[in-house]
Each structure stands twice: as structure tokens, then as C-alpha cells.
Amino acid sequence: MGDTMLTALILVPVVAAVIVMLLPANRKELALPVGFGLSFIPLAIAGYLFFHFETGVAGYQYTQKAVWYEAWGISWNLGVDGISLGLVALSVILVPIALAASTNITDRTKEFVVFTLLLEAGLIGSFLALDLFLFFVFFEAVLVPMYFIIGIWGSERRIYAALKFFIFTAFGSAFLLASIVALSVLHNQQFGAPSFDLRDLMSLDLSLSQSRWLFAGFGIAFAIKVPVFPLHTWLPDAHVQAPTAGSVLLAGVMLKLGTYGLLRFNLNLFPQAAVDAVPIIATLAVIGIIYGAIVAIVQPDLKKLVAYSSVSHLGFIVLGTAALTSAGFQGAVIQNVNHGLTTGALFLLVGMIYERRHTKQIADFGGLAKVMPIFAGLFLFTAFASIGLPGLNGFVGEFLVLIGSYSSIPGFAAVAAFGVILAAIYLLWAYERVFTGVPDKPENQKLVDLTPREIGLMVPLVVLMIVLGLYPKILLDRTAASTEALLDRVEQATTYEVPEPGRLADVFAGITEGDE
């Protein structure tokens, strides 16, 4: 049972998609409930996985390896560790919610459900793959359903957005594929057999320039996915045009492929290059944090505002990755999950109001708190989680990242902390314009508050936001060993040393070890 769990986790959504596909064509109202129901199976499997996950163990668990193409050293090679566990859990939680939020999709419902389930399989597969080739296959496979979800069920400029999304990502993938193949070839040169196994490739002896070029190859692909400034412009377009479920899964899980890839592959495979690249990555991350937030302030479109806030929040994750400290890594990993929950929830909420008013322009609203108190309350709650209010989930990740990165890259951390102010500005200003005051527009006066279904969608997210905010142990316990192992790997493979407490980082005080 144990070793086929992960395979089952990937295959169940595929099978579910096939089942939905086989539903009779004249009963298309069945597609959504059936897909929704079936999406609980991966949730159950992942839940079992999550709670039986051995804490304190750094290595991969539930591993399974089956040869796929021996001559090239490709295998069906799965495993989960603390870094991927949270993301897998996030995927299986968000998919049922995204499906349940899609009752407004009446055109080609069946295909929509099928694509969503396939997307889930691809996402989970990407997080579980320990074979780089397999990872690439899943990484690419994810694009197709998302392309169609945006392109078919999106709003007016959906084709433009879908194409832009696809081209950006495919552009990065080219570099990724080239780098993966190069690694395998190098493995062949050094060990006499090609291999795509992550753990084999970690033992490669790369020259500095090799590792830098390959790092860049991986880095570009993941930076586009994250997205890191200045490669972010596909994101607002994709989000604004995508249907609610698409936005939720795109922001909630798909962007995490980038941050996950940086942590999993760039750091493990090219530690020295990663250490050297810290100033570049941290600079881009900080620019992303500040820039995304500043640009979000004046966005007239609510969804675009949330999209830019994603740019800002993901900057924190990248910063935590670049911090190369224990707290920074933990913050990055947990922020991956947190951002998925809060931003997913924000997109859901924007979707709900869009269904009612068919507009996302902030200027079209005003005084909604009067007519939709529950909606306003949930929005405010989620906004505060996103702002990083302590006690809710957003804070834990952000705080760990900031505190963790200060000891190694203090200047960047200090500037990044400024993003916390900006987050309050753009979200609260938006809240003020949308919800407060008197509802003076006649269209707004007749709006009805959330239905029980819509509240039900939000409840699991809200509960998770509180639980992860006050009791992040549930996740941190599972990630700690893995992040420590990653840090050890970086330390052992390079000259980098994690800053000790009490000794300020060199940049800041110029204190060297000799002084102690």
C-alpha cells in the first residue's frame, strides 16, 4: 500500500477525469457533482499521507521507483518530503473548492471538469516527481489544461491571455528541458550511464561555469512560473481573464511550481551557483515585493489587484529561498501553502461578486458591507490574512522569511519589510472603496449576500487560515527536517556558512570571525 500511494494520488484524478468524460452527453449537469465527489478521493489519500507522514525525517517518504526507459535512465520515480507535502495537500484541497465554485460554468461543463481534474493530476505529479524527466513531463502537462481553462471559459480577452501565459511558460520550459538533458549527459560522462534521478544527479561534479549555466536554465523556467519581476506580466492578464476556478488553481498551486522548483532543484543541484546568485535572486525578489505592491495600489480592477498582490507575496517566498537560513526556508515552504489559501480565497470572493454584478471594477462598487455583511466580513478576514496579520496564516510565513533572511541578507530583508506596509495600503484601500460608505448605486442595493454553498466554500479556507496561523506546528513539524537537510546540503557543498546568532552578517557590520 505504502509505495503505491503516490502513484494512486496521481492516477486517481486521471481516472476521475475519464469517468467524467464517459458521462452521457445529455446529462451534463452531472459532470460537476461527479467531478466534485471524485475529487475527494485524492483528498482522502493525501490526508492519510499527511497524517502518517513521519516527522523529523529528512528524506523522501512513500517512495516508488519503476524503470520507464532504461537506456536513458528515466524512471517513474516518486517521493514526498517536507517541502512538497504541503503543496500536495494544498492542491487536493483547492481542487474540490475550485470545482464547487464553478457552478456558473454551464457551457461545456464536462470538459471543464475534465481539464480541472487533469490539471490536478499534473500538479500533484510535478510535486511528487523525483525524476527530472518525469518532472518536466508533468510541468509541461499542467500547461495544457490551464491553457484551455483560460482560453475557453475566460472573459473577453481570454485568447490573448491564454496565449501569453502559454508562450511565457513554454519559453522558460525550453531552457529547463535543455538543462535537464545536459545534466543527464553529464551524468553519462561521469558515471557511464545517463540518469534523470534527482538523487543521482546531486552527486554530479559540476564545474563552476557548468553549474552556473544550468542554474540559469532552471532558474529562468521557474522565475517565469513564480513569476519573478520582470517576467511577471503574463500573470495579471491570465488572472483577470481566467474563470474563478482557473484563478484559484493558477495562483493557489500552479505558481508554486516555480518556488518549489527553486527550492527543490536549483538549491539541491547547484548549491554553489545558488549561493553565488543570492544577491541577484534577492534583488529581484525584493523588487517584486515592493513593485507588485505599489502597482497593486492603483489597479482599478479587483482581480488585477489580487494578481499583483500575488507578485508581491511570491517575492517573499523567493526571498526566503534566497535567505539560505533555516527560518527563511521554513518561511518559504509554509508561505507557499499560506499564499495558496489566502489568494485562493480572495479570488473565490472576487469571483462571487463578479457573478452577481458582472464587473470587477472597484469604481463600480461601494457600500457593499451594508448589503452583503457576510461577504464583507469574509473579504476583510481574508484580506487581513493576506496582509499578514499575526494569528492568521500569512503572518507566520512572512515573519519567518523576514526574520530568517535578515541574518543572511539584512539589507534585502529590511527593504522587503516595507512591503508589509504597502500590503495594508492596497488591500484596505480597496476594501474601503468597495465595502464602506453608503451603497448609492441602484445595482449594488439589490445584491444578495452569500448563499450557504458559497459560505461553505470559504469555511475550510478560513479554518485553515486560523489553524495555520495559530498552530503552524502541524506543518512546520513536517517541513523542519527537510529544510534542515537542504540547508546542510548547501552548506556542505559550498563555502557558505549559515550565519550564527550573535554574529551579524558581514554586509551589515563588517564583523569577521577573527573578532570573536
Partner 1 sequence: MTDAIWLVIALPLAGAVFLHFFGRRLGEPLAGIIGTLSVAASFAVGFAAALPFIVEEGAHGETVMLWEWMPAIGANLEIAWDSLAAVMTLIITGVGTLIHVFSIGYMHGDERFARFFTYLNLFIASMLTLVLGGNFAMVFMGWELVGLCSYLLISFWYTKPSAAAAGKKAFIVNRIGDFGFMIGLMLVFTNFGTLAFDGVFERVPEILDEGTATAIGLLFLVGAAGKSAQIPLYVWLPDAMEGPTPVSALIHAATMVTAGVYLVARTAPIFEAGPNAGLVVAIVGALTALWAASIAIAQSDIKKVLAYSTVSQLGYMFIAVGLGGYIAGIFHLMTHAFFKALLFLGSGSVIHGMHDEQDMNKMGGLLKKMPVTGITMGVATLAIAGIPPLAGFWSKDEILGVAFEYGGVGIVLWVIGLVTALITAFYMTRQWFMVFTGEPRWDKGVEPHESPRSMTVPLVVLAVLTVGAGFLNTPFRLTLEHFLEPSFELVKVAHPPEGWGMFALLAAISVGAGFAGMAMAGFVYSRPREIWERFQQGFGRLWEAWAAAYRVDDIYGATLVTPGRKLSERLAFTFDAGGIDGLVNGVGRAVRSVGTRTRVLQTGLVRNYGVGFVAGLLAVVIWLVVAGGGV
Residues binding partner 1 (CB under 8 A): 164, 167, 230, 232-234, 291, 294-295, 297-299, 326-327, 330, 367, 369-370, 384, 389-391, 395-396, 399-400, 402-404, 406-407, 410, 413-414, 417-418, 420-421, 424-425, 428-429, 431-432, 435-438, 470-473, 476, 480, 499-502, 504-505, 509
Nearer to partner 1 by Cβ, of 230 and 456: the residue is 230
Which strand (E) or helix (H) includes residue 510? none
- Minimum Å distance from CB 362 to partner 1? 13
DSSP string over 344-369: HHHHHHHHHHHHHHS--BGGG---HH
C-beta separation of 232 from 220 below 8 A: no
DSSP string over 146-158: HHHHHHHHS-TTH
Nearer to partner 1 by Cβ, of 35 and 236: the residue is 236
Q: Is 106 left (phi over 0), alpha (psi -120 to 50) or beta?
A: alpha
Nearer to partner 1 by Cβ, of 10 and 251: the residue is 251
Nearer to partner 1 by Cβ, of 74 and 235: the residue is 235
Nearer to partner 1 by Cβ, of 112 and 234: the residue is 234
Place of cell 480597496: 430
C-alpha cell at 389: 496579520
C-beta separation of 234 from 166 below 8 A: no
Whether a cis peptide bond, with omega within 30° of 0, leads into 227 is yes
- Minimum Å distance from CB 435 to partner 1? 7
Crossing angle for the helix pair 158-191 and 208-225, to the nearest 10 degrees:
160
Nearer to partner 1 by Cβ, of 389 and 447: the residue is 389
- Minimum Å distance from CB 145 to partner 1? 24
- Minimum Å distance from CB 127 to partner 1? 23
C-alpha cell at 404: 530568517
Residues facing 301 on adjacent strands: 361
C-alpha cell at 181: 538533458
Nearer to partner 1 by Cβ, of 271 and 331: the residue is 331
- Minimum Å distance from CB 340 to partner 1? 19
The residues, any chain, with a CB within 8 Å of residue 428's CB and separated by 6 or more, are 383, 387
The sign of the torsion formed by the CA atoms of 37, 42, 43, 44 equals: positive
C-beta separation of 145 from 113 below 8 A: no
Nearer to partner 1 by Cβ, of 96 and 404: the residue is 404
C-alpha cell at 319: 526571498
- Minimum Å distance from CB 90 to partner 1? 20
- Minimum Å distance from CB 116 to partner 1? 28
- Minimum Å distance from CB 146 to partner 1? 19
